[in-house]
Structure 1
């Protein structure tokens, strides 16, 4: 009986949900690997500069060297990713990041790293990121169907946020034990592994791209898609301001407040860890909760982004600051998942990367300016006033976005039918939405 039972054709259970197909699984796995490496590498790069005798200004120069090409090439990267197979663009960008981080590691380990070399290699890394990010977002958005989009994006973001937390903690420990050069080398290996995963992505479901009028024509078409949807450009403008002031508050003022009032770097690191924990909890929440009015729920979740700046302005105790950071992380993920779901259901598949490029561009374009002006603003108005100003700006721009009818009224699609980027809705709900005069301009793919 034992022998016979051993050969019975028992069905095998898949360890992954039915909606988590090959592409989604590969994309998530690769993203976790690169998030682990990159979050540690950010710490390692700063300490590599300091170990060569640099100061905080030199650390800022290396960071700026990465950000500048990211801003300059994002829109071109989006157009390229919609013109070429996205997974090939991702692999090429990962290869560039692997080579640049590997060279950075070799220079640091050899003890010959100079500031201009570190800036150049960081700029190469930023260039790779500019081409990678729009392609990756477009690939992810096209990897799931509409009825499972919210859960899929929530699980993806939860994996990313968890990997980011682990990568920062592990990277900091590794820098202390074995030095920044080896952490940078580990990041180069992570890019190589992730690029290998992405090489095996299946793009057979993506329709062949029609011959267009060239790169400039693609950029113009992407601009029309972006500018023709008030909900889209208004939220991107909102976050260009919100991200900038939050970067100034938490990137510049936060460590200073921690040094002067909270007990130094360790409490500030704990507050940031609570924020990361909140993002994981928020992603878990959004894997279950599916608000009908996507962008209304998401935008309401942005208001708490003002709380950390206000808590630093007081300044609040470390316990209260950690609680504020946790709540902010939760509500920000409500926005993040809702935003990705809205893009998935509203943007035609062949324009996803160009729209993602405008989204990324808006997210990072004003950050260097805001961090550069943080010091002069503190000198002119004082640190508490500058922090209160950051909090007020977040509230004001978020309130203005709620004045846009499309933001308040855009609804999740239901009753799936096939078409566009995945599975979309039909029936009375879809008919009513299509007839709504407040719907964004443009088709649904």
Structure 2
């Protein structure tokens, strides 16, 4: 415990880390505002409908998925801090453009979709760099504390942004709310400019894009535990996307008073995310990947309670506990990847991880309706929950998942060429 406390203190004394934490908090505040403002902007347009809104959001998601691997290559070739600044500036300009179109009354579904595609591309460039820059600022045992503090700052920004979004849309309108959103990206870029300059990690520009992607794929598949954990999370996300985020509101409408009850569940979930990062700051398991795999067994707790239409307080408690597990998982896995993957390939590996874990999420949202119509909402929720628990336990059968140790960031590259690769043989 004392060791963890010293790690927190050393992280918080670093001005560059503080600037990064502040930038991510501001950026996530804006990210939480975007979907609310954009939804009401589209629905308030002449001809606006759920179909148009779905198309605009789908275009943004598709663009982010399409360009995330490119973002990984760029973040490995160039200084990651500069990549993040550039991506934030592009995002700010795009969201300012969206705001101007809406305020002027010139917005059309096509123009909103086009700018949303640019926004998704900018987010794709930003994410791999943002997930791999911390090891260049913090080393050793302090890295897990830094990742937990980063997650905490991001969760705080998201919670505040979600609270502000409704107030802003109601008071100044969706267009001006998106202008505030644009301002958060420019502020984030200014804060990131304060982060001390770090050199490019490697993967120089002499390589073609295809060659760089192949090299990243080799690093991604070289460690069995990496691709196994990503495959597991992809499976889990498909099930959660449909069961919790689609069927959850259905149950809330029938049993918990609709939006009020669902809001209570999501609010307690958000608090759970925050506590999860605090737990992740303090816990130092001897086998972090094994701990992360075990944590996934807690992800579907709320599904069991929703299926039983348990009292709202019980569902909220389950959502709270599940959220704690989610953030413990994310901090543990991100730290393990940062410690074991060579720095010059880390952004590409993170990009493959993002692509693998989220590319199939829309499928879960699309199929859960027909499945629940045939099997019933309750059985569908229970079935999804059982499969998620089973997936978490299944990966623990592999020695490569159970045995990954924490290592100092400085020795990650040498360790990667030894025991870590054994699981892939």
User: Structure 1 length as normaliser, TM-score?
Assistant: 0.87
State the aligned residue count: 416
Equivalent in 28, 37, 56 of residue 44 of structure 1: 37
Q: Which residue of 2 aligns with 1:289?
A: 283
Q: 1:298 to 1:164 in 2, by over 3 A?
A: same
RMSD of aligned alpha carbons: 2.3
Q: Which residue of 1 aligns with 2:52?
A: 58
Q: Which residue of 2 aligns with 1:309?
A: 303
Task: Give the drift of 1:245.
Answer: 1.7
- Cα distance in structure 1, aligned partners of 2:206 and 2:15: 30
Task: Give the drift of 1:73.
Answer: 1.1
Equivalent in 260, 269, 275 of residue 269 of structure 2: 275
Q: Which residue of 2 aligns with 1:227?
A: 221
Q: 1:250 to 1:106 in 2, by over 3 A?
A: farther
* Greater CA drift, 371-380 or 317-326: 371-380
| 2:381 corresponds to 1:387 | yes
Preserved contact between residue 81 and residue 195 of structure 2 (Cα < 8 Å): yes
**Post-superposition CA distance 1:335-390 (Å, at most 9, x none):** 11111210121011111100110111122101112212222223332222322232
Q: Which residue of 2 aligns with 1:114?
A: 108
- Cα distance in structure 2, aligned partners of 1:277 and 1:417: 30
- Cα distance in structure 1, aligned partners of 2:99 and 2:199: 39
Higher helix share: 2
Task: Give the drift of 1:420.
Answer: 5.5
Preserved contact between residue 203 and residue 212 of structure 2 (Cα < 8 Å): no
Q: Which residue of 2 aligns with 1:80?
A: 74
Q: 1:71 to 1:210 in 2, by over 3 A?
A: closer
Preserved contact between residue 68 and residue 351 of structure 2 (Cα < 8 Å): yes
Preserved contact between residue 202 and residue 345 of structure 2 (Cα < 8 Å): no
User: Structure 2 length as normaliser, TM-score?
Assistant: 0.91
Q: Which residue of 2 aligns with 1:123?
A: 117
Q: 1:111 to 1:380 in 2, by over 3 A?
A: farther
The equivalences for 1:16-27 within 5 A come to: 17-20=9-12, 21-27=14-20
Gaps of 5+ in 2: 1-7
Gaps of 5+ in 1: 1-15, 425-429
Task: Give the drift of 1:225.
Answer: 0.4
Q: Secondary structure at the match of 1:316?
A: coil
Q: Secondary structure at the match of 1:287?
A: helix
Q: Secondary structure at the match of 1:18?
A: helix
**Post-superposition CA distance 1:92-112 (Å, at most 9, x none):** 211221122111112222334
Q: Which residue of 1 aligns with 2:26?
A: 33
Q: 1:297 to 1:419 in 2, by over 3 A?
A: closer
Q: 1:213 to 1:318 in 2, by over 3 A?
A: same
Preserved contact between residue 78 and residue 353 of structure 1 (Cα < 8 Å): yes
- Cα distance in structure 1, aligned partners of 2:105 and 2:99: 10
The equivalences for 1:242-391 within 5 A come to: 242-391=236-385
* Greater CA drift, 393-402 or 159-168: 393-402
Preserved contact between residue 212 and residue 218 of structure 1 (Cα < 8 Å): no
Q: Which runs of 4+ in 1 moved over 4 A?
A: 205-212, 416-421, 433-442
Preserved contact between residue 410 and residue 439 of structure 1 (Cα < 8 Å): no
Q: Secondary structure at the match of 1:19?
A: helix
- Cα distance in structure 2, aligned partners of 1:201 and 1:386: 47
Q: 1:348 to 1:178 in 2, by over 3 A?
A: same
Q: 1:166 to 1:208 in 2, by over 3 A?
A: same
Q: Which residue of 1 aligns with 2:232?
A: 238
Preserved contact between residue 277 and residue 328 of structure 2 (Cα < 8 Å): yes
Preserved contact between residue 71 and residue 351 of structure 2 (Cα < 8 Å): yes
**Post-superposition CA distance 1:186-225 (Å, at most 9, x none):** 1100001111222343334555655643111110010000
Task: Give the drift of 1:250.
Answer: 2.6
Preserved contact between residue 248 and residue 306 of structure 2 (Cα < 8 Å): yes
- Cα distance in structure 2, aligned partners of 1:437 and 1:161: 32
